[in-house]
Structure 1
Amino acid sequence: MQDGRGGMDGWGIDHGYHATNGEWHETPAATRDAIRAAMGGAVDEPSAPEGPPVWTVPVGWGGETLRSPCRLRLEDGTDVGVVEALPPDLPIGRHRLIPVDRGPATLLLVRPRSCHRPEDMRRSALAVQAYASRSRQSWGIGDLRDLRLLGHWAREHGIDHLALSPLHAPSPGDHPQPSPYYPSSRRNLNPLHITIDEAPGAANDDRIRSLGDEARALLADRRIDRTAVWAAKRQALQLLFEGLGTTGHRELDAFRAERGDDLERWAAFCTISEDHPGTWRDWLTELQHPDSPAVARYVAERADRARFHCWLQLLADRQLAGLADVAPLVTDLAVGVDPGGADAWIDQDQLALDARVGAPPDDFAADGQDWGLPPSIPHRMREDGYETFARTIRASLRHGAGIRIDHVLGLFRLFWIPPGGSASDGAYVRYPADDLLTVLAIESERAGAFVIGEDLGTVEEGVRDDLATIGVLSTRLVYFEDTPPSQWPSNVGGAVTTHDLPTIAGTWTGADGRLRSEAGLSNDGAGSLRASLERLVGDGDASVEDAVVANHRALATSPVDLAIANLDDVLCLEERPNMPGTVDEWPNWSIAHPDPVDDLIAGPPPATLESIRRTSP
């Protein structure tokens, strides 16, 4: 897909873009040169390396004669042998056709008809910020037991899914990154959410009980102190690991064998990080690449520490599986990773580490947005056979019945900010969307999990059609749509708001505007958000509870496949989880719910929860 004003160059860099006001912005030559250099290209190279040929066929396709005999090697390593035509029984996946004569191997993508779609796809989901829902037993932050309690409560009252904020792992330092959308690793889990009391050996250990009493004192403050939480949890986990018995170590060995490189490299990163402050780019040169002999020696000398970090992942994985057994999960995949974190260290050859992803200046952000995330280099993804992309999707689907892809538009194009530049200097870079959507469909079908794409913002013509064709649900918000949910199409995950926008109560009472003013931000657009709610309420003087019920009931009775309600709205909370444009001015991703989960599930369900239950449109 190309921009109607002249397409892109040989590196996939668009010649320009239309701003939200329709004005055309030409890509400056300096920006083009800087982005090309960030991809590893020289100024005089007209185009990126082509990479291996890619051939996509639908599952069941067979009999077509190849140009020359090829050895067919399946994704799982099975060697089918030399073939002269495609067998009709090829499984979905990323396979290889290796010419018997000289020539490059072809990446053969055998795709399903679409992403997985359950037959009974008319469902509801309760969206939860994992850190915010705390019980009286929490160690200062919402954990996987708290979410299990919440999931059981939601299921009891007719809600189909629990939709979680990303559970991606932050870097393993003393001060964990609060934003779940700025992870160190998207393929490993955040140990902050481990329920210590349910770890092996914790029940009868007075030392753990004492640490827990100290950590529970943190519940007195609604602002989550991740530094204090992690200090207590890490100490407890180290004590428990030291007492791990033979059975526990055998289970850990089996888990390490199952998870393979994704886990081992994460453990290596954590082990080195413990002794080396700063980011991995500050480490000794010999440790800056995961495949170096020095890394292997370092981890071998500290094998017990690597086992400890693997064990944390085992605990988190098992507890997450227990949650998924209670409430089918919709997981969340962040758009990128911390450039100083584990995945950037592991995948550094595929990333433009000095460039950043963001958004161009528009009516909502006059200076544009810089998300601080390094973009993947398109031709390197292809050279990799999309293996890293597939592993990342697969990890997020490990215990998920569905997945939300943050900024799914990035599968088509991303706004790159060149090294040393600002968002106003950026340009769009194209990605191999057809290939990426095919890989997404393969992993979705394998996992039996549906896919929602967060496609908000400026969406190019044809993109939503492409997403619908491959079976990705679009995202629609009451706040942003001119029509009521009753007129929305079915292939939608519908909601009123998101974590980056005001809650219903914040808009209805005007509290969000006051909070934005206190944070030094303008409140432009608040009137239109209020008007969006009023259209479905019908009474501007209605209570907050009535406004929440009316808007959720409109979603629940609409044609959309997935009706999503935020727990913050069910509880009629005025504070939003995240306020874009702030750092210290607002406690982003750090506000816990005012009441413990125990009280919520012990009482009668609020009408705001009942309004989410699906009924006929």
Structure 2
Amino acid sequence: MKVSQRNKAVSAAGIAPSFINVDGEEQAISDETRQQLLAVMDLDRLAEQEAAPVPPAKVFRGPGKREMAVEGSGTFHWRLTTEKGKTFTGEVAGGETLTLPPRLAQGYHQLTLTQGERQWDSRIIITPRRCYEPEALRAGEKRWGALVQLYTLRSENNWGIGDFGDLEKMLAEIAERGGDFIGLNPLHALYPANPEGASPYSPSSRRWLNVLYIDVAQVEDFQQSKAAQRWWKTVKTQRALEKARDSEWVEYALVARLKLEALRLAWMQFRQRDAQDDAMLAFEAFVREGGDNLWYQAAYDALQCEKSADDTLRVGWPGWPGWPEAWHNTQLPAVQSWCDEHVDEIRCWMWFQWLAHRQFAQCWQRSQQLGMAVGLYRDLAVGVAEGSAETWHDPELYRMKASVGAPPDRLGPLGQNWGLPPMDPHVMLARGYQPFIDLLRANMRDCGALRIDHVMAMLRLWWIPYGETADKGAYVFYPVDDLLAIMALESQRQRCMVIGEDLGTVPKEIIGKLRNNGIFSWKVLWFEQERNGAYRLPQSYPRQSIASASTHDLPTLSGFWEAGDLALGEKLGLYPNEKVLKQLHEQRARQKKTLTKALRQAGALAEKQQEEEVDTQAMTPALNQAIHAFLAKTNSALLGLQPEDWIGMTTPVNVPGTVNEYPNWRRRLSVTLEALFADDEVDRLLKEVSRQRNSQ
């Protein structure tokens, strides 16, 4: 391929020639990296899209005249079938503009062009201008809620991991204190056969749920099964349960063993139900609705359990990449034969998914009964792991010879490699964006808001050629306007608002797009500083945002104030040298001093405290309350608060940049839900937050 042709192909593929580095300078991407990424993509697919007279999908936003160019020559016959089945026809010449019928409703319509024996299809998507926003927020009200990593919850009844039963109880407690929602970590399906692979941001599937969140005690067939109840009452089971409940960390392997054994016994009871039983009919409807995607998700979970016992497979390589090639995707004969021979086992895992979805839906319904405007918000991870059910079932959609991450920064000179194969934007377009639509629908189900992790991925992702370090990557652009428009359509249809996690390096070109699309920004207290270092006062926070003190990737309030995160980072060897650590401590001291000043200016510190010097070393209850009062005063329509901060916890739930150095995604709350909401200090804190939110 000639240089000019190669450069054209790289440009058409959306591979950026340069990026702005951590010093604010433009840095060129090497030709080698660009060619490596070009080789990763499906060039035949790109050529087909360029040669067609119309694109595979065309998105139109808002009202107005809708026209699209028709490439090629000769006369084309066209037929447009609307989402509701109405048909329009006509002719158009190549090189001319096709004007679509007026007053097309919002939704998905099908345009077909024919010329002789040849045919081309294009999905016409008509969308609203902005995402959905609850009436309470449109009316100017300000709401608050709890930000919860569900697995961290302790309770008197759970099995060593927070579950949907805990979530339902917590909703009532939050609502009683004036709260409006609970924001959750990604609930995506993980790896039951490899329960230690616990990161909710490296899931097996983003369309299905983590079955370890099932509240087993709620399951009717567990209650009715004599075998299950005998198992439950044994000394061995009760001792294992006590160990799981008492542990400081989530003991994932133990929790998985207990829950899966119990659920299998419950499944044996469920199988005895009559075919016309209401629960059986509901399950069968769920199976039909889930289709192939649910079938192969269940098959993957079942097959993983079988393969995990095979000592001949590669140790430490979870999932299908460690299996023989004959098992590397769902359409291979060995996989199909196995599925035919294990139908009941697959149905068992589909039943687990049904239980999880039914219990989560019950939580959503409870939030609505409590009058919550947002109720629940879910979190959509940026991708799936290499050895995931999604890549196993749909390898064409993912570029398996690349991984996404982040370019180098001062603390990570080689950048970050997240180990997640990227979705191919050209395959998404070729399929009329259906994979993206399916993903949104699955995650907007049974909730009032969806948080998009690393929302900048709508615009671009840092792709890294397989086997290279992250500094050898480049940005690949995505059809951001189309994706945001589709998000607005699904948001309105599902009545689910959208929150974009826009922390870190945010490209200027996406900031306005997110705002204009009605996507809420994320404002973290620690980062809300002016150029001179002063903390922004509450009235400066934008209305279209959610404010919080911290996130799951940052230290808790007490951890930040007492510099516990820096001490931990030093212990784990995260900093390149003593000079960097000293600079971080100096920066933290300045932040605490300027934050204290902002607390006083906002009137969040009591008069007595204004006259005295606030302790800059320890997080006191009074200072904790002052920071919560400051956040409650912010102009942000939403406010999210972490339970860890209500009780002064210092240990983080995740330390970015670590894998085995720290037990990420395992730290639990230090108290049970029952004790948390019986605490008078917590009760006063939350009621004061509610009062502040309602008084403005």
Matched ranges for 1:146-185 at <5 A: 146-185=166-205
Aligned to 2:29: 27
Q: How far off is 1:46 after superposition?
A: 9.8
So what's the TM-score if we normalise by structure 2?
0.82
Please state if 1:607 is matched with 2:684: yes
Equivalents in 2 of 1:508, 1:296: separation in Å?
Answer: 56
Aligned to 1:3: none
Residue type matched to 1:491 in 2? Q
Matched ranges for 1:371-382 at <5 A: 371-382=418-429
Q: How far off is 1:532 after superposition?
A: 5.7
Aligned to 2:592: 530
Matched ranges for 1:200-239 at <5 A: 200-203=220-223, 205-210=229-234, 211=237, 214-239=240-265
Residue by residue over 1:8-28, the C-alpha shift from the partner in whole angstroms, topping out at 9 and shown as x without a partner, is 722111111111212322111
Aligned to 2:654: 578
SS of residue paired to 1:592 = coil
Please state if 1:57 is matched with 2:60: yes
Please state if 1:424 is matched with 2:486: no
Instruction: Tell me: CA distance 1:353–1:64, structure 2 relative to 1, closer, same or farther (3 Å).
Output: closer
Equivalents in 1 of 2:191, 2:590: separation in Å?
Answer: 39
SS of residue paired to 2:552 = coil
SS of residue paired to 2:499 = strand
Matched ranges for 1:7-46 at <5 A: 9-41=11-43
Would you say the 8 A contact 2:129–2:485 is kept in 1?
no
Matched ranges for 1:444-593 at <5 A: 444-482=491-529, 483-522=536-575, 523=581, 524=584, 525-527=587-589, 529-531=591-593, 533-538=595-600, 540-541=614-615, 543-593=619-669
**Greater fraction of residues in helix:** 2
Equivalents in 2 of 1:533, 1:406: separation in Å?
Answer: 27
Residue type matched to 1:40 in 2? D
Identity of aligned residues (%): 33
Instruction: Tell me: CA distance 1:472–1:8, structure 2 relative to 1, closer, same or farther (3 Å).
Output: farther
SS of residue paired to 1:107 = strand
Would you say the 8 A contact 1:507–1:530 is kept in 2?
no
Equivalents in 2 of 1:546, 1:87: separation in Å?
Answer: 64
Aligned to 1:72: 80
Aligned to 1:263: 294
Residue type matched to 1:70 in 2? W
Equivalents in 1 of 2:364, 2:595: separation in Å?
Answer: 33
Aligned to 1:240: 266
Aligned to 1:299: 339
Aligned to 1:94: 108
- The structure with the largest alpha-carbon Rg is 2
Would you say the 8 A contact 1:477–1:495 is kept in 2?
yes
SS of residue paired to 2:404 = strand
Instruction: Tell me: CA distance 1:529–1:191, structure 2 relative to 1, closer, same or farther (3 Å).
Output: farther
Residue type matched to 2:694 in 1? T
Instruction: Tell me: CA distance 1:276–1:600, structure 2 relative to 1, closer, same or farther (3 Å).
Output: same
Q: How far off is 1:338 after superposition?
A: 0.8
**After the TM superposition, which of the residue ranges 437-446 and 330-339 deviates more from structure 2?**
437-446
Residue in structure 1 matching 2:444, options 397, 403, 408 = 397
So what's the TM-score if we normalise by structure 1?
0.92
Residue type matched to 1:340 in 2? G
Equivalents in 2 of 1:356, 1:530: separation in Å?
Answer: 38
Matched ranges for 1:289-368 at <5 A: 289-292=329-332, 294-327=334-367, 328-368=375-415
Question: Over aligned residue pairs, what C-alpha RMSD do you find?
Answer: 2.5
Q: How far off is 1:63 after superposition?
A: 8.3
Aligned to 2:135: 119
Q: How far off is 1:137 after superposition?
A: 1.0
Equivalents in 2 of 1:590, 1:64: separation in Å?
Answer: 53
Instruction: Tell me: CA distance 1:62–1:295, structure 2 relative to 1, closer, same or farther (3 Å).
Output: farther
Aligned length: 608
Residue type matched to 1:575 in 2? T
**After the TM superposition, which of the residue ranges 526-535 and 325-334 deviates more from structure 2?**
526-535
Equivalents in 2 of 1:115, 1:553: separation in Å?
Answer: 30
Residue type matched to 1:541 in 2? D
Aligned to 2:606: none
Residue type matched to 1:264 in 2? W
Instruction: Tell me: CA distance 1:70–1:567, structure 2 relative to 1, closer, same or farther (3 Å).
Output: farther
Please state if 1:135 is matched with 2:155: yes
Q: How far off is 1:312 after superposition?
A: 0.5
Residue by residue over 1:555-596, the C-alpha shift from the partner in whole angstroms, topping out at 9 and shown as x without a partner, is 322221211112221222111110012222221110111111
Equivalents in 2 of 1:535, 1:135: separation in Å?
Answer: 39
Would you say the 8 A contact 1:142–1:193 is kept in 2?
yes
Equivalents in 1 of 2:24, 2:508: separation in Å?
Answer: 14
**After the TM superposition, which of the residue ranges 424-433 and 200-209 deviates more from structure 2?**
200-209
Please list every run of 5 or more consecutive structure 2 residues that lacks an aligned counterpart in the other structure. Answer: 1-7, 71-75, 91-98, 309-317, 368-374, 530-535, 576-580, 601-612
Equivalents in 2 of 1:519, 1:105: separation in Å?
Answer: 55
Equivalents in 2 of 1:272, 1:296: separation in Å?
Answer: 12
Q: How far off is 1:149 after superposition?
A: 1.4
Please list every run of 5 or more consecutive structure 1 residues that lacks an aligned counterpart in the other structure. Answer: 1-5
Please state if 1:83 is matched with 2:89: yes
Q: How far off is 1:86 after superposition?
A: 4.0
Instruction: Tell me: CA distance 1:537–1:59, structure 2 relative to 1, closer, same or farther (3 Å).
Output: closer
Residue by residue over 1:228-264, the C-alpha shift from the partner in whole angstroms, topping out at 9 and shown as x without a partner, is 1001111111011011123343332121112223312
SS of residue paired to 2:390 = helix
Residue by residue over 1:501-560, the C-alpha shift from the partner in whole angstroms, topping out at 9 and shown as x without a partner, is 111111112322222222223342533553464344345327433333223322322221
